[in-house]
Structure 1
Amino acid sequence: MIQEEFVTLETAKLLKEKGFNEYCKDIIKEDDNRIMQSVFRTNKNLPKLCYSRPTQSVAQKWLREIRGVYVYVEPVIGKRWTLSFCDFNVPTEESDWMENEINKGNGYKVYVTYEDALEAGLQEALKLI
């Protein structure tokens, strides 16, 4: 059965720090990494050390629609995945600044699963905005 992948605690914390305040059914507690079902609450309505836990696709859409940063995963040979970024907030000729910053001197990292690549891309983009 295909299931949506949820963001990790680290990504949930970064999202809250960067202003993610969408309603989410799941929340995650920092002190024990426990996942709890809630009645669709936002980050600003949660106790300290609790974070909204959206799916990766919701986090990706929020970055694109609200923050103007597009994180996308591209296939490479051998059923592996790599990342690309586009910042819609800067002129076209500068839109690859984020990608250059993340891959500085290291080339493109390759991931075994699409979900691992997307999670890494979400975290890297959030750290830079």
Structure 2
Amino acid sequence: MKEEFVTLETAKMLKEKGFREDVFTFYKLDYVEGNMILSETYDYSDNFNKKDDCFSAPSQSLAQKWLRETKNLHISIIRNACGYGYDICKADNGTHITDGIFKGPNDGGQWDTYEETLEVGIQEALKLM
């Protein structure tokens, strides 16, 4: 079992929306390949979003918690026979905002894993801001 970190696309969205938490993982430019790669520090955490050439890469659960505690957006993952879906509501009172039920890529309109569903839910919550 391993910690799931947000994708580069989600990390960029988080930076744009004001994510400023200290983390141990981040995306940085690989100057040899020219791509952004996921990197990790072992001795300190930092707000890598303050740097122009980096993007902080929190775990999916930290991003989910940040959205809940700072933006009042709660993401729930829902399981049914076809796979996984998500629901986004206001964290303080449960008011439904939107959901990803039957919008997924598999034959049943769902996602196949919890983690890919949470990633999409995080991105959709960020788009609401």
Question: Which TM class, normalised by the smaller chain length?
Answer: 0.7 to 0.9
Letter in 2 for 1:40: S
The 8 Å contact of residues 26 and 52 in structure 1, kept in 2 or not, is answered as yes
RMSD over aligned CA atoms reads 2.1
Q: Normalized against structure 1, the TM-score is what? A: 0.81
Distance 1:107 1:77, change over 3 A: closer
Which residue is equivalent to 2:12? 13
Instruction: Give me the whole-angstrom Cα distance separating, in 1, the residues matched to 2:103 and 2:67.
Output: 21
Distance 1:124 1:16, change over 3 A: same
Query: Any unmatched runs of 5+ in structure 2?
Result: 105-109
Which residue is equivalent to 1:73? 77
Following superposition, the deviation at residue 88 of structure 1 comes to 3.7
The 8 Å contact of residues 49 and 56 in structure 2, kept in 1 or not, is answered as no
Identical-residue share of aligned pairs (%): 36
Letter in 2 for 1:82: G
Instruction: Give me the whole-angstrom Cα distance separating, in 2, the residues matched to 1:126 and 1:76.
Output: 25
Which residue is equivalent to 2:36? 33
Instruction: Give me the whole-angstrom Cα distance separating, in 2, the residues matched to 1:88 and 1:81.
Output: 21
Structure in which a larger fraction of residues adopt helix: 1
2:41 maps to 1:42: no
Which residue is equivalent to 1:111? 111
Q: Can you list the C-alpha shifts for 1:13-61, whole angstroms capped at 9, x where unaligned? A: 1111111111110110265121222331114432x13110000000000
Query: Any unmatched runs of 5+ in structure 1?
Result: none
The 8 Å contact of residues 83 and 118 in structure 1, kept in 2 or not, is answered as yes
Which residue is equivalent to 1:120? 120
Count of aligned pairs between the two proteins: 118
Q: Normalized against structure 2, the TM-score is what? A: 0.81
